[in-house]
Amino acid sequence: MTDKTMVSHLGIEVTDIGPDYLTATMPADSRTFQPMGIVHGGAYVALAETVASFAANLVVDDSRHYAVGLDINANHLRSVRSGTVTGTARPIHLGRSTQVWEVRIEDDRERLVCIARMTASILDRTPSDTTA
């Protein structure tokens, strides 16, 4: 599903799905760095939107609906120069037409490096829709 997408280009991989969360990792390397040799804030946001969007789509009836990002904000708290970052999405609100997800991104030492919140819009699937 993620082949030939930004998700695969950045090396984002889903690692765990639980009853109220979804977790994925992303490498801190040349694919995700900004020129100063630290993870780019946009890469954190891409990870946050990826885990929140995947999670949002797991809690809707995918035969009738799908979820897409509507709004996202992030606070970058700590620089990361190597290793892996891990993002975990948990729901704050699961409504009929919108969902709100909190995403905590941590480094290899489990230190919080970014916190994000994404709002997803729940859309009706049409007969011409072929992807989630």
Q: What digits encode the pLDDT tens for the residues 79-96?
A: 999 999 999 999 999 999
Do residues 48 and 114 make contact, with C-beta atoms less than 8 angstroms apart?
yes
Q: What is the rounded average pLDDT of the residues 24-33?
A: 98
Over residues 98-112, the mean pLDDT reads 98
Dihedral sign computed on CA atoms, order 30, 117, 91, 58: negative
Q: Which residue has the higher pLDDT, 71 or 127?
A: 71
Q: Which amino acid does the sequence have at 5? A: T
DSSP string, 95-130: -SSEEEEEEEEE-TT--EEEEEEEEEEEEE--TT--
Residue-level pLDDT at 3: 85
Q: Pick the residue with more confidence: 102 or 4? A: 102
The pLDDT of 8-30, averaged and rounded, is 97
Q: Is residue 1 domain-resident? A: no
Count of other CB atoms within 10 angstroms of residue 52 = 28
How are beta strands 65-76 and 21-27 bridged, if at all?
Answer: unpaired
CATH number of the CATH domain containing 37: 3.10.129.10
Where residue 131 falls among pLDDT bands split at 50, 70, 90? low
Q: How many domains does the chain have?
A: 1
User: Can you give the pLDDT at residue 2?
Assistant: 77
Does residue 49 have an active-site annotation? yes
The distance in angstroms from the start CA to the end CA of the chain is 9
- 105: in domain: yes
Which among 49, 102, 106, 110 is annotated as catalytic? 49
The answer to whether residue 86 is domain-embedded is yes
Q: Which domain holds residue 102?
A: 6-124
Tell whether 82 is covered by a domain.
yes
Per this entry, what is the length of the chain? 132
In a domain, 131, yes or no: no
Residue 58 lies in a domain: yes
pLDDT tens digits, 30-78: 999 999 999 999 999 999 999 999 999 999 999 999 999 999 999 999 9
